[in-house]
Amino acid sequence: MEKNSLIILAAGKGKRMNSDLPKALTNLNGICLIENLLNTINKTKYKDVSIIVGFNGQMIIERFVDKSYNFFWQKEQLGTGHAVKQAEEFLKDKYDNHLILNGDSPFTSKETIENIIDAHETDKSVITMATLKLENFQGDNNCFCHFGRIIRDNNGDVLKIVEFKDATEAEKNITEVNPAIYCISDKWIWKNLEKIKNNNNQNEYYLTDLIQIARLEGLRVNSITSCNAFEMMGVNTSDELLKAQEIYQKTKNS
């Protein structure tokens, strides 16, 4: 039995892109966002990949129909926690852990994927997550200002994640943010997805709530902190797409 599966969230509509394409199929320098990520995954040893599709999801399925990916439909856009749950029946009890990635984060590196899974297996936490530590939200870092904020306890452990729309002004000043990459144990995730509530400003079931659920159970959340803003960026708007193209070219030519 393969120990680890990868789940890619790609159900988003991307309405801020002014496009009828699923957000994950947005073109970035000649290749779509999710294909950038899948090409990186193909360089790892992890081959069991599930993709959650939603808005115009058939376009994603048809794009990769000749690949050995599993596809699951999120018919309603009810949040990331709800999205992952769509794969439960297929994935449950077949793996030890699941690494959850975003189809609109094209620059996630092979090293990050491998490091998070390795750290998770070594630490034996129920959750291992990536965090991004910035100096500020100025310049190229401006695209991270709406990311969820990492709240740590007095011991420096992750206590919870507060989404930007739900954050206080003090919390918005925190410069450690959530790039939404998680490795979660199979036995723990499915029973605890049931506990997520949608009592937030978006009325959605946030995957991030699992952090607080783990802490309330007295469990430690393991974290791997990066300072590499480029690989952690997501592409959610036309402006962010332009910025990603600009940074990509700058990085490519350096």
Distances (CA, A) of 203 to 77, 79, 115, 196: 10, 8, 33, 11
Cα dihedral angle (84, 133, 145, 220), rounded to 10 degrees?
Answer: 40
- CATH architecture assignment, domain 4-253: Alpha-Beta Complex (3.90)
Asked if residue 105 lies in contact with residue 144, where contact means CB atoms within 8 angstroms, the answer is no
- Report which DSSP code applies to 156: S
Please tell me the predicted confidence (pLDDT) of residue 252. 67
b/e burial code for range 14-42 (CB count within 10 A of at least 16 → b) = beebebebbbbbbebeeebbbbbbbebbe
Closest CA to 16 of 112, 125, 104, 98: 104
Please tell me the predicted confidence (pLDDT) of residue 254. 60
Cα dihedral angle (86, 129, 115, 52), rounded to 10 degrees?
Answer: 20
Radius of gyration, alpha carbons of the chain: 17
pLDDT tens digits for range 91-146? 999 999 999 999 999 999 999 999 999 999 999 999 999 999 999 999 889 889 99
Token pair belonging to 78: 């009810």
Active site residues: 16
Please tell me the predicted confidence (pLDDT) of residue 102. 97
Token pair belonging to 71: 């596809």
Asked if residue 204 lies in contact with residue 198, where contact means CB atoms within 8 angstroms, the answer is yes
pLDDT tens sequence for the chain (254 residues): 569 999 999 999 877 677 889 999 999 988 999 999 999 999 999 999 999 999 999 999 999 988 999 999 999 989 999 999 999 999 999 999 999 999 999 999 999 999 999 999 999 999 999 999 999 999 889 889 999 999 999 999 999 999 898 899 999 999 999 999 999 999 999 999 999 999 887 889 999 999 999 999 999 999 999 999 989 999 988 888 888 888 778 766 66
Question: How far apart are the C-alpha atoms of 103 and 126, rounded to whole Å?
Answer: 23
* Maximum distance among all Cα pairs of the chain, rounded to whole angstroms: 50
